[in-house]
Chain A
């Protein structure tokens, strides 16, 4: 049973560029959440996708956008990259039904903006 997978593992981009990160949820899960984890800090919620719609959003600017596909996989897009966007980006999947079931996290994509 495959867990949450993310690609790429590492990425280096230049300020002003755009980046797309990808996530495949755990088998049977229908919801994908994205978190940003800056070095030495706890993860911060970016947004969550369910039924191909953004269900909830954290305190992140519009430069951060996402998409969910019919197979439940998801993409996180960040435009006009800033140095402060350098972080580990974590994807988590879960089942939306009922209360907050434990969210299963992927290994993350480490983004470095130079």
Chain B
């Protein structure tokens, strides 16, 4: 069965610091997809990135970057030069290709607080 673990329940940083959110996953499927979502206080989950299991290239999007390592089953998310607007709960999620419904399995989330 698939599982996603986000060991950091809460992280607090000061603005402009870099911060890395950890994500470790478990799956028996050879084809799978990994996601990161942001959940601001409003509650709506905002899609950030999707990665498939065959693409281990790291990705950078502005201040955001993602490091995917199949060898350690990790898909970590780094925010560079954090800003107060980055304060939110961040979720890592997994979807196995064998699931016809593309069900997302979420981790427990990491609450990030960026202080001015």
**For residues 79 through 116 of chain B, which have their beta carbon under 8 Å from a beta carbon of chain A?**
91, 93, 95, 97, 99-109
Task: Check A71 for interface membership: any CB of B closer than 8 A.
Answer: no
Residues of A within 8 A of B (CB): 31, 33, 35, 41-45, 47-48, 50, 55-56, 58, 88, 90, 92, 94, 96, 99-108, 110
Given A42-B107, A43-B106, A108-B43: A56 in contact with B99 (beta carbons within 8 A):
yes
* Complex: chain A residue closest to B101, CB-CB: A56
* Complex: chain B residue closest to A110, CB-CB: B43
Complexed CA–CA distance, A107 and B87 (Å):
18
> A43 to B104, Cβ gap below 8 A?
yes
A96 CB contacts on chain B under 8 angstroms: 102
B102 CB contacts on chain A under 8 angstroms: 31, 33, 48, 56, 94, 96, 99-101, 103
Given A56-B101, A56-B103: A103 in contact with B109 (beta carbons within 8 A):
no
B6 CB contacts on chain A under 8 angstroms: 42
> B95 to A100, Cβ gap below 8 A?
yes
Complexed CA–CA distance, A99 and B35 (Å):
13
Task: Check B42 for interface membership: any CB of A closer than 8 A.
Answer: yes
Partner of A58, one of B35, B50, B95, B103: B103
Most buried by A among B43, B91, B100, B107: B43
Given A43-B45, A88-B43: A99 in contact with B104 (beta carbons within 8 A):
no
Least CB distance from B24 to A in Å reads 14
A105 CB contacts on chain B under 8 angstroms: 37, 44-47
Partner of B108, one of A42, A45, A48, A94: A42
